[in-house]
C-alpha cells in the first residue's frame, strides 16, 4: 500500500499540516505531520480523542487536532484502506491462539496468587469461573475460525509436523 495524503490543513500559525494513510509493517497507519518538519504522530487505528485543550468533539491523529468533519474524512479513508487490505487469515488465527494462551496464563496466575493467599478456610479457587469462561469463549472462537478455514488448519498441521520431524532428526 502506498502512502496517500487524505487531508491538508493550515494551522493557526500558518504552517501546513497533512494527514496521510499508509502501511506500517503490514498494518494501515495514519500519519500526521507538519510540512517540512517531523511527524506529529503515527498510529494504527482511526482518530482518537483530542487532548491538550482542543474543543469538545475534536478528534486527533497524534498531536494534530481535527474538527469533527476533518476526523470523519480521515476515519472514512482509514476504514477504506483497512477494507482494501487482504485478510491475513494466518495472523487472525495466531491472534485467536494468543488470546487462549493469555487467558490460560491469567487463569494460572490467579490460581497461584489465590494459593499464596490461602489461609486454610474456604475455596481459594472460587474466582476461577470468570477466567474459565474467557478461556472457553476464546477456544470456541478458534474452533469456529478453524471450521471456516480448514486450509489454515492444514497449513499449521503441516508446519507442526515438519517442526517435529526436524527436532527428531537433530
Q: Name the pLDDT band for 130 (thresholds 50, 70, 90).
A: confident
pTM: 0.56
- Ranked by mean pLDDT, the top range of 20-24, 41-45, 107-111, 166-170 is 166-170
For residues 122 and 124, what is the distance between their CA atoms, to the nearest angstrom? 6
Which residues have CB under 8 Å from 145's CB, separation 6+?
92, 93, 96, 152
- 27-81 per-position pLDDT tens digit: 888 999 999 887 888 887 788 888 777 788 888 888 888 999 999 999 999 999 9
Q: Name the pLDDT band for 129 (thresholds 50, 70, 90).
A: confident
Amino acid at each position: 500500500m502506498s502512502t496517500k495524503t487524505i487531508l491538508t490543513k493550515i494551522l493557526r500559525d500558518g504552517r501546513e499540516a497533512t494527514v496521510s494513510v499508509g502501511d506500517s509493517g503490514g498494518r494501515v497507519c495514519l500519519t500526521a505531520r507538519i510540512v517540512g518538519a517531523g511527524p506529529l504522530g503515527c498510529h494504527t487505528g482511526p482518530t482518537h480523542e483530542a487532548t491538550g485543550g482542543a474543543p469538545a468533539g475534536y478528534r486527533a491523529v497524534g498531536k494534530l487536532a481535527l474538527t469533527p468533519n476533518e476526523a470523519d474524512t480521515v476515519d472514512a479513508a482509514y476504514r477504506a484502506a483497512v477494507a482494501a487490505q487482504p485478510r491475513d487469515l494466518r495472523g487472525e488465527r495466531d491472534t485467536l491462539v494468543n488470546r487462549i494462551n493469555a487467558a490460560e496464563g491469567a487463569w494460572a496466575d490467579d490460581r497461584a496468587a489465590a494459593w499464596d493467599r490461602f489461609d486454610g478456610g474456604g475455596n481459594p479457587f472460587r474466582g476461577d469461573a470468570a477466567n474459565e469462561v474467557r478461556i472457553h469463549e476464546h477456544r470456541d472462537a478458534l474452533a469456529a475460525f478453524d471450521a471456516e478455514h480448514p486450509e489454515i488448519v492444514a497449513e499449521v498441521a503441516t508446519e507442526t509436523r515438519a517442526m517435529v520431524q526436524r527436532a527428531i532428526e537433530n
